[in-house]
Amino acid sequence: MNKIIIVNKNDCRQGLADQVMAHTIQPKLHRAITCFLFDKSHNILLQKRSGNKLLWPLCWDTSCSTHPKDGENYIQATQRRIKEELGVQKKIKLKLIDKFVYYAKYKDIGSENELCAVLIGEIDSQVIKPNRQEVAEIHFISLQGLKAKIKKQPSDYTPWLKLALRRLSTIKG
């Protein structure tokens, strides 16, 4: 049983909860991360979530998203998931740029109620070997191209990607 970290709006730990329960029956505010990885040309790596995902399957997401495990900080959780989702073995230099709180409901299946940390880093596109249990496909896109695609077809993208993109835009222009 996967446990996630329950927090208050100030990101103070309140305890642990079962991950599935916190996304379905009792949507408690919990810690999450989402990360934008850029290639050398400053394009963003996006991943399409696997069809196996309970919430927002086959929707485009940031480069990597997850929940920190108890005892992990945001950087450690992101490093772990970059390895698990994208198959990248080497550590990537990451920077925490912001945090935000949001709630989003997915059909009648469940919801996200998260305090989400936004991280950025640079990745070599040659080292990516996506885990097909987690990732349906990957794609690099410019920041402006991503904004245009979201505007045209917003339902193709996860809610946290759209919110995190606003934070990224304030530092990337």
Catalytic positions, please? 114
β-bridge pairing 110-122 and 94-106: antiparallel
What tokens appear for 28 in the block? 């408690």
Burial of 8 (0-12, 13-18, 19+ CB in 10 A): exposed
Greatest alpha-carbon span in the chain: 43
Cβ atoms of 49 and 158 closer than 8 Å? yes
Q: How far apart are CA 104 and CA 113, in angstroms?
A: 7
What tokens appear for 35 in the block? 């990360």
Residues 6+ apart with CB under 8 A from 38: 44, 45, 120, 121, 122, 123
